[in-house]
Amino acid sequence: MGTPEFPHLGKHCSVGDCRQIDFLPFTCDRCNQVFCLQHRGYFNHQCPNANQNDVTVLICPLCAKGVRLVLGEDPNVTWDSHVNTDCDPSNYQRATKKRRCPVPGCKEVLSLSNSVRCKDCTEEHCLKHRFGPDHKCPGPRKPDSGFSFGGMFNKNQKGKSLQDRSSNSSSWWGSSLMKAVSNIRASAESGMMKVNNVTTQALQKAKSGTAESSSGGELVEQCVQCRARFSTVSALIEHVERSHQQSSRAGGNRVTIDVCPKCSKGFRDPVALVEHVERDH
């Protein structure tokens, strides 16, 4: 048994009448015994565990479902358990009903291999009637061309309401913005007019001699253009004639300074004053 190089090669067949020495024996996966080539099958060596992994399924005549028999359990017990828990007679018609080609006169049973779904009518037909002219296909479904006055009226009403809302909102924003700009400009112009009137009245009073000097030497008179303070009106007039009138004459034209009514900041350009009021105040 075996060779000098492989002494453990080969075994006797487990069948009592055979006992043949096989150098490449077969091991049964159910009973784990060794057999020769002739007795390697389950039936040939009468394997006691031949049906250990077998699966037996019976079709229920009531619901057409498959009932699997449990190994080592009485089939009657398995059948009673299925009838009491899982059996549904209403499933019999769905399971046994065969799909056939819908063409009149055709009795071809449809399956996965011989059925074709039409792209136009979305119905399944046999291979013989798979083309449109063969099963009289009505063609793709046409869109509804009917004209509904109600839908058009609703659309018009919706569009009109949206347009009214957008126009109302845009007009409200535009009117509010224009009102705000006009109010700011009016306040700036009124402040400028007040400052100019006060300055003109002070100069007229000083020139006419009606202005009185303040008592105690306090700096009560203030220059409108450079914000310098003086104790008397005469000193203010001398300052204006000496500092501001000479500079305006040297420039050719008299420079007018506009004062912000909020923060008393001077600007040479009225547009800059308006932008300053809109931005800061």
Q: What does pTM read for this prediction?
A: 0.29
Any domain includes 251: no
Q: How many domains does the chain have?
A: 3
Any domain includes 273: no
Distance CA 36, CA 45 (A): 10
If we measure between CA atoms, which residue out of 225, 227, 202, 199 comes closest to residue 212? 202
Distance CA 245, CA 226 (A): 13
Give me the CATH number covering residue 40: 4.10.1110.10
Same-domain status, 39 and 26: yes
The domain boundary residue, chosen from 140, 170, 204: 140
Any domain includes 89: yes
Any domain includes 33: yes
Residue 90 CB neighbour total at 10 angstroms: 7
The domain boundary residue, chosen from 140, 170, 205: 140
Any domain includes 208: no
**Which amino acid is it at 152?**
M
The domain boundary residue, chosen from 80, 97, 114: 97
Instruction: For residue 112, give its domain range.
Output: 99-140
Any domain includes 91: yes
pLDDT per residue as tens, the chain (281 positions): 566 777 667 888 999 889 888 888 889 988 889 999 889 888 888 888 877 777 888 888 888 888 888 877 888 898 899 889 888 888 887 777 788 898 998 888 888 888 899 988 888 889 999 898 888 888 777 665 554 545 555 555 555 555 555 555 556 656 766 777 677 777 777 777 776 776 676 666 655 544 444 444 555 677 777 777 777 777 878 888 777 765 555 544 555 677 787 777 777 777 888 888 888 88
Any domain includes 120: yes
Same-domain status, 13 and 45: yes
Distance CA 10, CA 224 (A): 127
Same-domain status, 70 and 92: yes
Any domain includes 32: yes
